[in-house]
Amino acid sequence: MSTIKVLVWNEGVHERTQSEIAEIYPDGIHGAIASGLAELLGSAVTVQTAVLSDPEHGLSADVLEQTDVLLWWGHIAHDEVSDEVVERVRQRVLGGMGLLVLHSGHFSKIFTRLLGTTCSLAWRNDGERELVWTAAGRHPIAEGVDHPIIIDKQEMYGEPFDIPTPDDVVFISSFSGGEVFRSGVTFTRGRGRIFYFSPGDQEYPVYFHPQVRRVLANGVRWAAEPALAAPNAMPTVSNPERGWFEKQPHRS
């Protein structure tokens, strides 16, 4: 199997501007995620990172051409991501690049643009225990994952989560306060696979949690499949003449 080329993108603002968050994530949220993927997937992946302040946000056409799976973390700077870059990423996803959208990335331009809905939800930051239950144990993303994952302190995300009907609801979370949330959901758009996973917040060390790392590693492997199977290719319009297929050589 080919090596999966992974790019972890993070807006990287909290870590620069809030010392208490820099203490939790000394290498940035992207650094924590990247180290988890490298640790769990080893030689099956190469992992790069990029942040908002990089030229073109670190998401040039060249970089995207070298990316099989993109992970996206953003929160307070969604609006600062350029529309041009978002459209570039969108086209790449439709062409087969995998996309993992994390936590507050539910409100990112790329996620709402690909899904079309508001992606709004209920939230409360009160350090509650989150239990992440597997609803689709057969899904590759759930492989080897605790049922439930116990996260001692987390921001609460609650229903209603305004997303289109997912292909699969892999995980459902409950919180100490009683709320529930579809915390792990998958979508297919064009040739691309998308996985949204909500656990993970700048104020809690969630991306060091072994089980959260396991989920992200599984997600990367699952989302990489189209990119490994065929070159990136956006769906396009065609205008064939009648009977065109009778003139084609048949492949065997």
d(CA 43, CA 94): 27
CB of 6 to its own copies, least distance (A): 20
Per residue, the 3-state secondary structure of 51-79, as one string, reads: ECCCHHHHCCHHHHHCCCEEEEECCCCHH
Residue from 54, 180, 203, 205 touching its own copies (CB under 8 A): that is 180
**Interface with its own copies in residues 86-115 (CB under 8 A):** 90, 94, 96, 113-115
Residue 247 touches its own copies, criterion: CB under 8 A? no
Q: For its own copies, which stretch binds (CB under 8 A), given 29-37, 48-56, 65-73, 236-244?
A: 236-244
Q: For tokens 């769906």, what's the residue?
A: 235
Residue 187 touches its own copies, criterion: CB under 8 A? yes
Residue 43 touches its own copies, criterion: CB under 8 A? no
Our CB check for its own copies shows the closer of 55 and 241 to be 241
Residue 210 touches its own copies, criterion: CB under 8 A? yes
Sequence-ordered list of residues with C-beta below 8 angstroms from that of 82, at least 6 positions apart, any chain: 56, 57
Residue 128 touches its own copies, criterion: CB under 8 A? yes
- Three-state DSSP state, 6: strand
Of 35, 24, 5, 41, nearest in space to 201 by CA: 24
**Structure-block tokens of residue 95:** 């062409």
CB of 29 to its own copies, least distance (A): 20
Residue from 100, 230, 231, 247 touching its own copies (CB under 8 A): that is 230
